[in-house]
Amino acid sequence: MAPRKKPRPAARRKPSPKRSAPAPRAKPPPAEKDGGGTLPIDVQPGRIEETLKKVSETLRHWANTGRYTKVRFKFRGKPLLPDLPLAAVVAAEGLTFYWTGILRALLVNVAGRSVLDVELVNDSEQHVQKGKEELLAGEVDRAIAEFRVATTKQRDNPSAHLNLGIALKLKGDKAGARAALERARTLDPDGAVGKEAERLLQNLGSAPDIGTGGF
């Protein structure tokens, strides 16, 4: 009788290489108020450089969106510095100046774990309101200038584009008015601003039916 062959041991599977976790993406501010939002940054003793890098990356991301114009640093509810232009803070020279100044000194002296609040501010609506006042006063050119500043500071502000369209129509610039109103409609297709923009677009080629109230 032929001897039985010993079964071969099952081949061991090589462990699959661990995949590195994806880099965290910058998240939108959790709370929007008065055109801005607050980003709480965890501050831990001995990890100052890591904290500053996190702040820098987050601010750079939101600067690229064009939604915010200023940044406000707060610690324990109190502002550390005056509101700073966001573009200046994310610039290399801005980071060098602020990070090696008051902000860095504060973080170095933090006793225990704490939270630094970084508030993103947008003053686009202030220019929209100023433009409305100029429009009601009959200063159409000044109103257009204010609305253009508002659209520059917040490119996705439908109210700014709507009011710019109204002012351009009053100025006689139908092409410019149409472009601004179409932009407002695109930004707020289901909202009151978008519906008003749609109504004005329908009347743009016919008899004028545009007030100066806006949104």
**Euclidean distance between CA atoms 94 and 86, whole angstroms:** 9
As a whole number, mean pLDDT of residues 60-65 equals: 74
Query: Strand, helix or coil at 37?
Result: strand
Minimum mean pLDDT among 28-37, 63-72, 110-119: which range?
A: 28-37
* 3 state DSSP class of 40: strand
Superfamily covering domain 124-203: Tetratricopeptide repeat domain (1.25.40.10)
Residue ranges per domain, the chain? Answer: 33-121, 124-203
Q: What is the mean pLDDT of residues 180-203?
A: 94
Quote the pTM value.
Answer: 0.54
pLDDT of residue 87: 78
Q: Which amino acid is located at 136 in the chain? A: L
> What is the Cα–Cα distance from 169 to 199, expressed in whole angstroms?
14
| Same fold: 33-121 with 124-203 | no
CA atoms of 88 and 78, how far apart (whole Å): 22
- Share of residues in the chain with pLDDT > 70 (%): 63
| 33-121 CATH, one of 1.10.3470, 3.30.1380, 3.10.450, 3.30.1490 | 3.30.1490
